[in-house]
Structure 1
Amino acid sequence: MKIFSSSFSNIEKGLDYAALKQKTIANNIANADTPNYKSKNVKFTEIFKETLTNELTAYRTDSRHYSFRMNEGHPAIAADRQLSYNQNGNSVDVDKEMAELAKNQIYFNALTDRMSGKFNSLTNIIKGGR
């Protein structure tokens, strides 16, 4: 019997992604005046979509066999080497980074609110609905 649904692990992965994106954005803002610094971005959706399109299927002859899947997509940090917004070779656009920061904060808050709701439901179940 599975006590916790897979939504807990999915929310946890989302929170990990949001934390990594937060660190990356903060690093970009901190290096906004560093010469030749190239802004970095967390690439998760591209890897996730690629994993879905390249999903392999296999025929299992026994239920005890492992399922045949490709590795799960994990976030990767990539630098954009072609852009340069400043004369010193820096590619950080502070306005864009601040907008991404606000968007990531909203995403993070939604995930924590959802996780809180899940735990409240479990608490309610444990208490017997009282």
Structure 2
Amino acid sequence: MDSIIGNVTSTLISKALDVVSLEHKAIANNIANVDTQNYRAVHVDFDTVFSSISDVVYSTDSEALSQAINSLDENNMPTVEELSAKVVLDSEMVKMTENTMRYQALIGFKKGLGALTGIAINGGRG
């Protein structure tokens, strides 16, 4: 069960990084087009992507966990949705900062998971 949980955790972090990266691209595109006439802001909703599997992640059913992970494959990544609002540069900069912080946190989690794996491989010896 531990290997299943470790695999699920690693996969979820990787998928979260994919979504954050997609959101970063959308925000960068919004900033690049701030002065483009008739351009509408686009957005990827990180929370929506993972809300559908949040209940399953806390379950102990390994089959349900595997299905939840498989539901997040590349083909099911969120599409970029066009918002009806015009781009507001200050708002996009705030979103970029929030998204960068989320990305850095996920990288930290991934690094920590790697360190735990290293400790397990070495039998607890540093």
Do they superpose with TM above 0.5?
yes
Q: Which has the higher contact order (CA 8 A, sep 6+)?
A: 2
Question: Is 2:77 the counterpart of 1:74?
Answer: yes
In structure 2, distance between residues paired with 1:28 and 1:93:
9
Equivalent pair of 1:24/1:41 in contact (CA under 8 Å)? yes
The structure that has the greater radius of gyration is 1
Which secondary structure state, in structure 2, belongs to the residue aligned with residue 76 of structure 1?
coil
Q: CA deviation at 1:47?
A: 5.3
Deviation of the 1:5 alpha carbon: 2.7
* Percent pairwise identity: 31
Counterpart of 1:124 in structure 2 is 119
For structure 1, list consecutive stretches of 5 or more residues without a partner in the other structure. 53-62, 84-90
- The question of whether the paired residues in 2 share the 8 Å contact of 1:43 and 1:76 is answered with no
Q: Secondary structure at the match of 1:5?
A: helix
8 Å contact from structure 1 (residues 22, 104) kept in 2: yes
TM-score with structure 1 setting the length: 0.70
Structure 2, gaps ≥5 residues long: 54-62
Q: Which amino acid aligns with 2:93?
A: M
Judging by fraction of residues, say which structure has more helix.
2
Q: Do the aligned partners of 2:20 and 2:46 also contact (CA within 8 Å) in 1?
A: no
Helix, strand or coil for the counterpart of 1:121?
Answer: helix
